[in-house]
């Protein structure tokens, strides 16, 4: 399986073999997923990863397949959400791959879009040192989405590019236009069932969205929640809005549940390259250094003005944060 860019847009030559290999595995996974109940039971629970999250059969199938392909294309270090430690594949390889092999696996058996998230960066002499640095080292970041279309959304640092799997041609073929995030959409994505666990600032922001045209935002909003980071990201890059996965008061959720290395750094780079912003609510994600390989961080991303507004809620005096939405005077339109 190969990637076919538009004639006026190159893919960095040293990254091409790794990108082709990723496409090859993604196309095979897409075929497996498309069989649904006619194939193997891909949603079967088979264990738990290092953080205690349940692993499905397809999580491990995807992880094994990506690691096997990466060993052939100059990738020295392989860091996966499904593995406890960094794996060395090619001792003289120049690249390092961080990957969430199968994002959204809880949706496998209900035919909702799922995906693969990845980033590529230069390999350092030590595997852990390679991945425990900020997101400015990334050479490429992207995701595959397995939905009505199987597509690759990727950046090499010059905008966000869309490649769609053309099965008849055996290629991921590039779409004509770069993807640019709309700054105007009135949608927000958050798991509202956790409302009671959120901080006052997050509750205040969501309350003001829910207040609609009569509240301080002065407009009506729609809420979306798919429980698949790839699906949420694809919708927001395609048509705008904001995504929030904050930390909350539950045990183990102080920093949310999304992994900084495998999920948040790649998504942050994509969002910024599409014209949006990505923070932990206050700090830019790409500026943060992961404290350990499987570190988590809150994640807020989307249209720039929406993300900036979330940050301002952290600076409000307590009487403003605690006010009913109709009386939050500093944010009246």
Is 69 flagged in the annotation as binding? no
Q: Which of 198, 290, 283, 196 is nearest to 246 (CA)?
A: 198
Long-range own/partner contacts, residues 174-179 (CB < 8 A, 24 or more apart): 174/3, 174/4, 174/5, 174/6, 174/9, 176/6, 179/153, 179/237, 179/238, 179/274
- The Cα 98–Cα 130 span in angstroms is 10
Is 52 flagged in the annotation as binding? no
DSSP one-letter code for 81: T
Q: Which of 241, 170, 172 is nearest to 162 (CA)?
A: 172
Is 119 flagged in the annotation as binding? no
Is 102 flagged in the annotation as binding? yes
What is the phi/psi pair of residue 161, to 5°? -115, 145
Is 263 flagged in the annotation as binding? yes
Which tokens go with 155?
Answer: 């950046």
Is 84 flagged in the annotation as binding? no
DSSP one-letter code for 284: B
Q: ∠ CA 163-167-170 to the nearest 5 degrees?
A: 80
H or E element, residue 77 = strand 75-80
Please list, in sequence order, all residues whose beta carbon lies within 8 angstroms of the beta carbon of residue 196, skipping any fewer than 6 positions away. none
Is 191 flagged in the annotation as binding? yes
- The Cα 162–Cα 173 span in angstroms is 8
- The Cα 281–Cα 244 span in angstroms is 8
Dihedral-angle region of residue 297 (phi above 0 means left; psi in -120 to 50 means alpha; beta otherwise): beta
- The Cα 79–Cα 127 span in angstroms is 8
- Judge contact between 3 and 171, C-beta under 8 A: yes
Please list, in sequence order, all residues whose beta carbon lies within 8 angstroms of the beta carbon of residue 218, skipping any fewer than 6 positions away. 333
- The Cα 68–Cα 272 span in angstroms is 31
Task: Return binding residues.
Answer: 81, 100, 102-106, 191, 263
Task: Return binding residues for substrate.
Answer: 103-106, 191
Task: Return binding residues for Mg(2+).
Answer: 81, 100, 102-103, 263
């Amino acid at each position: 399986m190969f990637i076919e860019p538009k004639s006026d847009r190159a893919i960095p030559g040293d990254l091409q073999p790794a990108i082709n290999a990723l496409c090859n595995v993604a196309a095979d996974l897409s075929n497996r997923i498309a069989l649904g109940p006619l194939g193997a039971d891909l949603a079967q629970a088979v264990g738990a990863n290092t953080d205690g999250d349940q692993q499905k059969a397809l999580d491990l199938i995807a992880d094994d397949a990506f690691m096997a392909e990466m060993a052939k294309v100059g990738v020295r270090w392989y860091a996966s959400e499904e593995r406890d430690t960094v794996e060395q594949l090619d001792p003289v390889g120049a690249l390092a791959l961080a990957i969430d092999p199968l994002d959204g696996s809880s949706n496998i058996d209900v035919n909702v879009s799922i995906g693969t998230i990845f980033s590529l960066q230069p390999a350092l002499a030590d595997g852990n040192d390679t991945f425990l640095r900020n997101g400015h080292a990334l050479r490429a970041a992207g995701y595959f989405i397995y939905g009505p279309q199987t597509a690759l959304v990727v950046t090499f640092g010059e905008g966000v590019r869309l490649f769609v799997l053309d099965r008849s041609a055996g290629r991921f073929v590039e779409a004509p236009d770069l993807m640019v995030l709309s700054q105007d959409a009135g949608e927000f994505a958050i798991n509202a069932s956790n409302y009671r666990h959120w901080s006052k600032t997050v509750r205040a922001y969501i309350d003001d969205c829910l207040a609609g045209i009569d509240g301080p935002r002065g407009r009506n909003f729609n809420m979306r929640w798919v429980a698949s980071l790839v699906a949420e990201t694809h919708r927001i890059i395609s048509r705008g809005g904001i995504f929030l996965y904050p930390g909350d008061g539950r045990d183990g959720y102080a920093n949310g549940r999304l992994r900084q290395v495998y999920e948040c750094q790649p998504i942050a780079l994509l969002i910024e390259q599409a014209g949006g912003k990505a923070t932990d609510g206050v700090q830019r994600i790409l500026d943060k250094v992961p404290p350990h390989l499987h570190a988590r961080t809150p994640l807020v991303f989307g249209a720039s003005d929406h993300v900036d507004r979330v940050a301002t809620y952290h600076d409000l005096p307590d009487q403003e944060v605690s006010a009913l939405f109709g009386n939050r005077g500093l944010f009246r339109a």
